[in-house]
Every structure is written in structure tokens, then in C-alpha cells.
Amino acid sequence: MSYSCPIPGPKCEICDCSGSTCQSQFPGLKVEWPELKGVSGVEAKAIIERDNPRVTAIVYPLGVYFPAINCCNRVLLYVPTDDCPNGPVQNRPMVG
């Protein structure tokens, strides 16, 4: 399957939490994936969306950052610009 970067996602559902502070909104589902740092962006996206079907993981090249807005339906994955979206995830993936 061929991907372009960034892999787009849904409109932001704004919330006031991130990571483990969002757990109450996702009972029984994962909200953080520290083990995916270093994993291919495409592979990490698939794992996150399987672990928590209520979120969409979005792969972005490093250097593309957003205002400090927490989105409870998204997990941002940053990978090297020259290997996007397949490069290794550079951040700690989490909801928000």
C-alpha cells in the first residue's frame, strides 16, 4: 500500500486532557504508546488504531507542529521528513 505524508485524519475533537489524563474517556482502551517510539510510522498507526478504535493516528514529518490544542480523537506521530510516513516515530505517542 502506498502512502503520502502527512497521512490526514479527522477534524479535532477538542478536550482538556492528554495521555494518561484522558484514560477516563477511554475505559479499557490504551491512551499512550511509549513502546512505539522508534517503530515505523505506518506500523505505529496500525497498532494504535487497533488498540484504540476511537482514535486516529496521524503521521506527520518532523517540523510540522500544531498549536497547543488537545484532540481526544487523534494521536500525532512525528517521523523524519526524508522518510515520511515510513520512518521511525520520534515522539511518545499519546491521545491528545
Residues 6 or more apart in contact with residue 22 via CB below 8 angstroms: 15, 31, 72, 94, 95, 96
- The confidence score (pLDDT) of residue 56 equals 95
State the pTM of this model: 0.90
pLDDT digits (tens, 9 = 90+) for 75-85: 999 999 999 99
User: Rounded to whole angstroms, how far apart are CA atoms 4 and 84?
Assistant: 8
Instruction: Evaluate if residue 71 carries a pLDDT over 60.
Output: yes
Q: Which three cell numbers stand for residue 18?
A: 492528554
pLDDT digits (tens, 9 = 90+) for 24-50: 999 999 999 999 999 999 999 999 999
- The confidence score (pLDDT) of residue 64 equals 76
Q: How far apart are the first and last CA of the chain?
A: 27
